[in-house]
Amino acid sequence: MRPGVLALLAAVWLSLSGPYTMHELPILIFGLLSIAFVWRLYLALDRAAGGGSEFFRASSWLRLPRFLVAFALKVAAANLHTTKLILSPKIELHPRLRRVPTSQKTSFGQVLYANFITLTPGTITLDLRDDELLVYALDAESEADVMDGSMDRDVLRLEGGSD
């Protein structure tokens, strides 16, 4: 989705600088230059990572809202649980280190999954190696969503299914 990234960059720039008329032509040119520069940077990074950032097909954008809802619900539940842990009169934790398989096809999908886990309070990704995540969790309830693979499925669905 290289052109998609270009369009996204242009949209972000336009929304931040506001619509311009032809009177501000120099600013428009500088904007185009900065977009070209960031796009160039993105291509170089993609090459350095060995590809794999062609994550968002057009259909993935359609599935994004559903993913965001699932994401928000999981993060909210984890927040409530971690808040309970913090505010309980006696801090009682059962920290654990887990090895979690990932089933995403692209490296972007794997990173998204790892970020999802890290963003959820109570679980944090220590390492990503050989399609496996090393996850540190506070207690059994925190790691439940990771261990039963429901977060994995959320990201997989966003990616476009396994087949």
Partner 1 sequence: MNGALDIVTAVLLSAGGLFCVVGGIGLHRFSEFYQRTHAASVTDTAGAGLMLLGLMFQGGLSMVTLKLVLVLAFLFFSSPAIAHALVKAAHGHGLALELEIEDEPGRNGDAAG
- Enumerate binding residues for partner 1 (CB under 8 A): 12, 15-16, 18, 75-76, 79, 82-83, 85-87, 91, 93-99, 114-115, 118-122, 124-127, 129, 132, 134, 136, 138
Q: Which two tokens stand for residue 53?
A: 């950032």
Residue whose CB is less far from partner 1, 81 or 156: 81
Smallest gap from residue 163 Cβ to partner 1 (A): 29
Name which of 29 and 126 has its Cβ closer to partner 1.
Answer: 126
Q: How far is the CB of 87 from partner 1 (least distance, A)?
A: 7
Q: Least distance in Å: CB of 9 to partner 1?
A: 13
Rounded alpha-carbon distances, angstroms, from residue 12 to 16, 31, 34, 43, 163: 6, 11, 12, 18, 33
- In the bound state with partner 1, the residue whose beta carbon lies nearer, of 7 and 93, is 93
Residue 19 DSSP one-character state: -
91: region left, alpha or beta (phi > 0 left; psi from -120 to 50 alpha): beta
Closer to partner 1 at the Cβ: 148 or 161?
Answer: 148
Instruction: State both tokens at 121.
Output: 């309070």
Q: Which of 151, 148, 110 is nearest to 131 (CA)?
A: 110
Measured from the CB of residue 97, what is the shortest distance to partner 1 in angstroms? 5
DSSP codes of every residue in 107-155: HHHHHHHHHHHHHSTTEEEEEEETTEEEEEESSHHHHHHHHTTHHHHHH
Q: How far is the CB of 111 from partner 1 (least distance, A)?
A: 9
CB nearer to partner 1: give 84 or 153. Answer: 84
